[in-house]
Structure 1
Amino acid sequence: MASLSRFPLVLTALFALAACNKTETAPAESAATPAATEAAATPAAEGATPAPAETAPAPAEPAIQPAAVATPPAGPAPVVGTDYEEIPGGQAFDPVPGKIEVAEIFSYTCPHCAQFEPVLLDWRKKQTADVKFTPIAGPFGGNPIPFQKAFYAAQTLSLVEKTHEAMFRAIHIDQSLNYQTITDEQIGAFYAKYGVKAADFIGTMNSFAINAKGKRAEQFMQRSGVSSSPSLVVDGKFLVKGKSFEDMLRITDHLVAQERAALQSSAPAAAAPTAAAPTAAAPAAAAAPKP
């Protein structure tokens, strides 16, 4: 089998127009990931022995600093029914007053989500502080439920920033995790490299609280009309469609700007500044001494 790192551009073109659904069973080898470009710089020779998978933890993804000023959306305004769907009575998954939520529904085993990740990360770096990004693990791709539970356990244990990209890499590039035969012990061993005991992680992953998170996420997807990954939902009100990853983000930019304008117009007018209190009259000048 040829190394996937030899075909990053072909994979980009294919995956940009595809999505994983609930019956996706494509093998993990078919995916391109955030590391595909780096891997392409040193293509493997035919028949060469693959390098051992990395065992050292990947560096944590740096915290994303919000942009100072919102960039006006580029391209034509999106059309309802063509570029996005309105969600009747839609609400944000994790609403915060004054924030515009952009929720991404993804799956670690979905190769298209792996390809979308670096594009999405670049987009996130350009967003202002009023945009709240919310990742939601969904039941898409091959055997997604163990990885869905792993994501919510990592979120509960504050490990997502360190492990999110690393999990995509482990499945789709290093292939150190086989999604078809994955066990709880293997998942626990993966997260143990990032500062948690494997047994503790497995216990969290199989807890009632994590199962409840997964069900809540699936309820959100169902009422939002999400049927594949990756998908974007803006403020719980709009399900983005789009013809490519870039097109999805163009549409999202317009919908975020629309929501921002709505928030600004509904905000109470700032109270008029209180008039400054009159200053006390200056004391009368002292009478000049008589000669």
Structure 2
Amino acid sequence: MRAFLLSLALLLSVLPLGGHAQSRLPGLTEGVEYNTIDGGQPYRQLPPGMVEVAEVFAYTCPHCAHMAPMIDDWSRTLPAYARVVYVPGVFGRDDAWARAYFAEETSKTIPLLHRRLFTAIHETGDLPRNADVSQITQYASKVPGVNAAAFSAAIRNDAALLPKLKLAYEFSQRSGVEGTPTLIIAGRYIILGNSYENLLVNARKVINALAPRHATTSARPVAPAGPSKPRS
């Protein structure tokens, strides 16, 4: 997936307002903080009142690697009605990195592996950008706390993986994702920004604007489960 060009977001044409009247957000300006996705739908079905915050990412993307710790910390400041979900970019049924993420989900090793894989590719060089399933599995097997057998089985389980790969691919396609990282709120709002920090500020504005009635926009008292900092 093409590297995400932060400056490009502000150059995108503002979508016609006629069809978006019902999607306008009070106090915000379309084309500045966000653009509306025609016919957009969330990646996953969340409980009523929950707002999905989807990050479309790629492990091989250096911008995603840089932003990973920022997303991790930022997610802990979100109100209780917002939930961050990760959507890997998919380049085919044999995409080893997309398979790796879904294997993390299945084996419940996202906190152990998500940030580590970015580090292994972009900092330590322990994994090449074109790593295959065997190389990723071998790396994961050496991480303390990872059930190597469970991860290996999950990353090779076509019956379980192919529907997930299809769902992630279709979400990116219908949302008009052009690069990574991309933040999409409630399946309907693609976030704009001229820096990593500005992207997160604008995302928070949209999240606040979508607050359910009577909900508080302050941070949840307990940090959510999610990727943690790699252990040394």
How far, CA to CA, are the matches of 2:50 and 2:202 in structure 1? 18
Distance in 1 (CA, whole Å) between partners of 2:147 and 2:214 is 49
Encode CA deviations 1:178-235: one digit per residue, 9 max, x unaligned.
122x232211112213445545433321222112211101101111111110000001
The answer to whether the 8 Å contact 1:163/1:194 transfers is no
**Residue in 1 aligned with 2:133?**
184
Aligned residues: 190
When normalised by structure 1's length, the TM-score is: 0.60
- Could you say which residue in structure 2 is the equivalent of 1:119? 70
Whether 2:213 is the aligned partner of 1:264: answer yes
Match of 2:229 in 1: none
Matched residue SS, 1:264: coil
1:209 aligns with 2:160: yes
AA aligned opposite 2:66: Q
Determine the C-alpha separation between the residues in 1 that align with 2:177 and 2:85. Answer: 15
> Which residue of 2 is the match for residue 161 of structure 1?
111
Counterpart-to-counterpart distance in 1, 2:58 and 2:28: 26
Indicate conservation of the 8 Å contact 1:18/1:112, yes or no: no
| Unaligned stretches of 5+ residues in structure 2 | 9-26, 216-232
5+ long unaligned stretches in structure 1:
1-14, 20-76, 267-291
Instruction: Return the alpha-carbon distance in structure 2 between the equivalents of residues 203 and 258 of structure 1.
Output: 42
Secondary structure at the counterpart of residue 92 of structure 1:
coil
TM-score (norm 2): 0.74
Asked if 1:96 is matched to 2:47, the reply is: yes
Counterpart CA distance in 2 for 1:16 and 1:87 is 19
The whole-number CA distance in structure 1 between the counterparts of 2:132 and 2:57 is 21
Distance 1:212 1:178 in 2: 26
Indicate conservation of the 8 Å contact 2:107/2:147, yes or no. no
Q: CA deviation at 1:257?
A: 1.1
RMSD: 2.5
Of 200, 204, 224, the match for 1:249: 200
Tell me the alpha carbon deviations over residues 98-121 of structure 1, each in whole angstroms, 9 at most, x when there is no partner: 211111111111000001112222
Distance in 2, matches of 1:18 and 1:190, equals 35
User: Aligned runs of 1:220-235 on 2, under 5 Å?
Assistant: 220-235=171-186
- 2:15 aligns with none
